[in-house]
């Protein structure tokens, strides 16, 4: 049997801002090929965790190790895109080819076929020339998923990909997530819909500023764990002491 390799490893990681932890002492690993949900209340540190994995946020302590030179495709919360910028849907999606084409590389006929396939896969054929400012929230999310498809990365991080998205679009995009899982890609998604997590995601990490439970979804999403996560206060202590907690 082929040994299961690790896609992402956390060594006692603490992530945060201005010395204050948002994710406290996370230790463990995400095996490659996992389909994992990250759940927790607002302010639990879910987005912070993804930023740490992508590398836009350096851990306050500990290390996040990625398997070799694996590429990461990252979909942040939709709000961070300038929708007023005069850009066509086609160009937005084509940016997914960055890792291949870089600053100067051309887009070959093969690439054009792939862009078309990606647009077809998310149901946006015929939208190529539309400016992104005319897209609805759901259509924008479809376009961003098409870009993720083109990035063709072994690790895919999704930050609340289905927030404010209708049922049909969610179902379509969730199919893509399953397809990535079938292709043995590692998918980590921040989600709020626990029913969806139970139905689709075999693994779950429940956090509330520190890991509450991590493992098989059914075990993690027990009522006592959820209650515990809800009780963890979003405390901001202006006189917090330096943390001396050691690895167990």
Partner 1 sequence: MLDLFYTPFAEFEFMQRALVGVIAIALGGGPVGVFLMLRRMSLTGDAMAHAILPGAAVGYLVAGLSLPAMTIGGLFAGVVVAVAAGLVSRFTALKEDASLAAFYLLSLALGVTIVSLRGSNVDLLHVLFGTVLALDDNTLLLIASISTITVLALAALYRPLVLECVDPVFLRSVSRAGTPTHLIFVGLVVMNLVGGFHALGTLLAVGMMMLPAAASRFWSNDITVMMMLSVVIGIASGLCGLLLSFHAELPAGPAIILSAGAAYVLSLLLGREGGVLWLAWPGKHLEA
Pick from 4, 95, 120, 240: which binds partner 1 (CB under 8 A)? 95
Nearest-approach distance from CB 99 to partner 1, in angstroms: 6
Q: Cβ distance 150 to 89 under 8 Å?
A: no
- Cα dist. 227→25, 27, 49, 55 in Å? 20, 22, 21, 31
Closer to partner 1 by Cβ: residue 133 or 219: 133
- Pairing verdict, β 20-31 and 6-17: antiparallel
195 binds partner 1 (CB under 8 A): no
Q: Does 18 bind partner 1 (CB under 8 A)?
A: no
Work out which of 65, 85, 120, 231 binds partner 1, going by CB under 8 A: 85
Residues 6+ apart with CB under 8 A from 240: 20
Q: Which of residues 111-130 bind partner 1 (CB under 8 A)?
A: none
Residue labelled with tokens 């929708």: 83
Nearer to partner 1, 92 or 187 (CB): 92
Residue 129's SS3 state is coil
> In angstroms, rounded to a whole number, what is the distance separating the alpha carbons of residues 76 and 89?
18
Is 3 a binding residue for partner 1 by CB under 8 A? The answer is: no
Q: Which is nearer to partner 1, 24 or 51 (CB)?
A: 51
Which chain residues interact with partner 1 by CB under 8 A? 54-56, 72-74, 76, 80-82, 85-88, 91-92, 95, 98-99, 102-104, 131-133, 147, 151
């Amino acid at each position: 049997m082929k040994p299961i390799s690790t896609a992402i490893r956390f060594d006692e990681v603490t992530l945060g801002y201005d010395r204050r932890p948002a994710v406290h002492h996370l230790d463990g690993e995400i095996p490659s090929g996992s389909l994992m949900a990250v759940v927790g209340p607002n302010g639990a540190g879910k987005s912070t965790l993804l930023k740490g994995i992508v590398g836009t946020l350096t851990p306050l302590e500990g290390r996040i190790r990625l398997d070799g030179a694996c590429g990461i495709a990252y979909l942040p919360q939709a709000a961070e895109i300038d929708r007023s910028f005069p850009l066509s849907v086609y160009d937005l999606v084509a940016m997914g080819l960055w890792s291949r084409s870089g600053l100067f590389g051309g887009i070959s006929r093969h690439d054009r076929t792939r862009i078309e396939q990606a647009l077809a896969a998310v149901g946006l054929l015929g939208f190529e020339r539309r400016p992104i400012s005319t897209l609805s929230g759901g259509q924008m999310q479809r376009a961003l998923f098409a870009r993720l498809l083109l990035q063709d990365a072994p690790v895919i991080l999704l930050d609340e990909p289905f927030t404010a998205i209708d049922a049909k679009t969610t179902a379509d995009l969730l199919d893509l997530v399953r397809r990535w899982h079938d292709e043995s890609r590692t998918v980590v998604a921040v989600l709020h819909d626990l029913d969806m997590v139970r139905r689709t995601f075999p693994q779950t990490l429940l956090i509330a500023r520190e890991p509450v439970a991590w493992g098989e979804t059914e075990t993690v999403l027990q009522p006592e764990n959820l209650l515990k996560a809800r009780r963890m206060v979003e405390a901001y202590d202006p006189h917090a002491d330096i943390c001396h907690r050691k690895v167990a």
